Amino acid sequence: MAAPPAQTLRDHQLGRLDGGRFDVLVVGGGINGAVSAAALAARGVSVALVERADFASFTSQESSNMVWGGFKYLENYEIPLVLKLTRSRNRLMRAYPNVITELRFLATLDASAPFPSWLAALGTVGYWGLGQFATRPPSYHRPARLQQLEPVIRTDTAEAAIEYGDAYLKDNDSRFVWSFVRSAIDHGAVAVNYAEVAGMTREGDRWRAEVCDKRTGRRLTATAKVVVNAAGPFVDELNRRWGVRTEHRIVYSKGVHLVVPQLAAAERVLAFFDDSQRLFYVLPMAHRSVIGTTDTRTTDPAEGVTDADREFLLSQINARLNLAAPLTTADIIAERCGVRPLVVEDDGNDRTDIDWTTLSRKHEIDVDRSAATVTVFGGKLTDCLNVGDEVTAAVRRLGVRLGPEAEGWYGEAPAAECIAFQRAAAEVGLDRAPEVEREATVADVLWRRHGPAAMQVVEAVAADPSGAEPVLAGTDLLRAELALYAEREMIVELEDFLRRRTKAALIQRASDLAADPGLAEVRRALGLSPRPTDPADPTPSRP
């Protein structure tokens, strides 16, 4: 397979960024920055998006991958937030019928549950109603039924279980973020990864940004009428540097997930109350399970997983499951760790006595008119389309003209295209079961990952059937897909591919990936030369 010209897409985007005059510069390529850039580009706004590491390489790659209204927020009586989030969930489920699918939550209630089972059952009915009945109805199970449903759950201490529906991103948060970056590019935006805003100065009525290409150290400049600060955990730091005033600020709550061998019998979430009466989960991820999450206050956005985090999560899960042998750290395949940027009012008082576990997961969008900036605080992946809408409205208030909204800037291509793709895929044998997933075909997986562009994979397989072979063991990545990743996905480092564009580094151990003979082929196809910092380090990259 011929190696592609290295980083062609990125070079092209960098060239457009340098010296560019934009309506809007979006700083930060997590979900909030990506969706803002895509929403603005879809309204014909000239927009540039810059991310100092890879897209989605900070908070947005560390979530629970849930698209949910937040059943647990009912505990804090956050009805308006749950209402808003369930609506956002439903909107996303309608727009992404294959990428985001309904998932059943099975919550076991034992003596550690903070409320009686009848109240929890009532809560699921209320939650279903708040969610406009968009999922299958909730149900209530006695321990004997629970035992049948999920034999792995310890039912000797269980009083009952409640079951309700929400949804999840089958292919991970970071791939979802990438889909918005791609949409932004497809609608005319400039988007560059490994490009850090190093300086920002006001010149007349425009901002002048100095951007550092982290790959070469080269300095570029670009100007914009409006700056959108979507730097997640770093928004306050940037606003301070730029002299921007806001009504809100953020505090951090750390959340850890551990990926372990598959625990649940079916593709569903197992939910439990931990010893501190906080809900925690066993989540599905391909042929693995993900245990999480924690919720601890920190002041360091880059804090990693500690031994105490591992010990806590493993002990909580071991106490609630019937396992042949208790899980130990040797069972951990990969780890995820991020800080939730939680929004609080900036009353000038840097209080440390905030009870962060009860802090709302809402987002806020602040506009500093005199500085022509918009700042996105907090939020959820689930609420991303609202963030896009609200940022667009804020940018308009700052004097940027918007055009009509382009159709299809988010969501999957029409069902007819999906059906045509499935037919063509079946003709070349891609309707077989994938290696690492239940209840799907290889064609389903390809459609989820690439949409209509997956037709290119079918054509490649038709021309050379060896393209249908998995390229890395224990993953469902096909050889014929590599060309698509190389051309369309701005992959700069091996980790961008293994950890974010795909979930290979989450479902396979780093040591297994590093020893995989297919890795050399991946590198070649993506035009990546081996580097001393390679290969498959599944830990999050930190700038």
231 part of the interface to ligand FAD, by CB under 6 A = yes
In this structure, what DSSP letter does residue 409 have? S
82 part of the interface to ligand FAD, by CB under 6 A = no
Instruction: Please report how close the Cβ of residue 229 comes to ligand FAD at its closest, in angstroms.
Output: 9
390 part of the interface to ligand FAD, by CB under 6 A = no
Segment lying near ligand FAD (by CB under 6 A), choices 148-156, 224-232, 443-451, 469-477: 224-232
User: Taking a C-beta distance cutoff of 8 angstroms, is the pair 168, 65 a contact?
Assistant: yes
**Can you read off the two tokens belonging to residue 379?**
């939020």
Instruction: Please report how close the Cβ of residue 61 comes to ligand FAD at its closest, in angstroms.
Output: 7
Can you tell me the distance from the alpha carbon of 146 to that of 149, in angstroms, rounded to the nearest whole number?
5
Q: Compare residues 89 and 523 and give the one whose CB is closer to ligand FAD.
A: 89
- The DSSP-derived string for 88-116 is HHHHHHHH-TTTEEEEEEEEEEETT-SS-
Site for ligand FAD in 96-135 (CB under 6 A): none
Instruction: Please report how close the Cβ of residue 235 comes to ligand FAD at its closest, in angstroms.
Output: 8
Can you tell me the distance from the alpha carbon of 475 to that of 466, in angstroms, rounded to the nearest whole number?
16
- Neighbouring CB atoms inside 10 A of 42's CB total 26
Phi and psi at residue 423, to the nearest 5°: -65, -50
39 part of the interface to ligand FAD, by CB under 6 A = no
Q: Compare residues 257 and 450 and give the one whose CB is closer to ligand FAD.
A: 257
380 part of the interface to ligand FAD, by CB under 6 A = yes
Q: Compare residues 51 and 150 and give the one whose CB is closer to ligand FAD.
A: 51
- Neighbouring CB atoms inside 10 A of 408's CB total 14
57 part of the interface to ligand FAD, by CB under 6 A = yes
501 part of the interface to ligand FAD, by CB under 6 A = no
Count of residues binding ligand FAD (CB under 6 A)? 39
In this structure, what DSSP letter does residue 233 have? G
Can you tell me the distance from the alpha carbon of 458 to that of 475, in angstroms, rounded to the nearest whole number?
19
Can you tell me the distance from the alpha carbon of 378 to that of 144, in angstroms, rounded to the nearest whole number?
41
- Neighbouring CB atoms inside 10 A of 291's CB total 24
Site for ligand FAD in 301-360 (CB under 6 A): 338-341
Instruction: Please report how close the Cβ of residue 428 comes to ligand FAD at its closest, in angstroms.
Output: 35
User: Taking a C-beta distance cutoff of 8 angstroms, is the pair 166, 71 a contact?
Assistant: yes
Segment lying near ligand FAD (by CB under 6 A), choices 57-65, 97-105, 219-227, 306-314: 57-65
Among 314, 374, 381, 492, contact with ligand FAD (rule: CB under 6 A): 381
495 part of the interface to ligand FAD, by CB under 6 A = no
Can you tell me the distance from the alpha carbon of 420 to that of 411, in angstroms, rounded to the nearest whole number?
18
Q: Compare residues 60 and 172 and give the one whose CB is closer to ligand FAD.
A: 60
Site for ligand FAD in 13-32 (CB under 6 A): 27-32
Residue with tokens 């699918």: 101
Distances (CA, A) of 260 to 80, 147, 209, 282: 35, 22, 43, 10
Instruction: Please report how close the Cβ of residue 35 comes to ligand FAD at its closest, in angstroms.
Output: 8
In this structure, what DSSP letter does residue 234 have? G
Instruction: Please report how close the Cβ of residue 297 comes to ligand FAD at its closest, in angstroms.
Output: 13
Site for ligand FAD in 165-204 (CB under 6 A): 196-197
Burial 308-345 (b: 16+ CB within 10 A, else e): ebbebbbebbeebbeeeeebeeebbbbbbbbbbbbbbe
- Neighbouring CB atoms inside 10 A of 512's CB total 14
Q: Compare residues 184 and 197 and give the one whose CB is closer to ligand FAD.
A: 197
33 part of the interface to ligand FAD, by CB under 6 A = yes
Binding region for ligand FAD (CB under 6 A): 27-33, 50-53, 57-60, 62-66, 196-197, 230-234, 238, 255, 293, 338-341, 379-382, 543
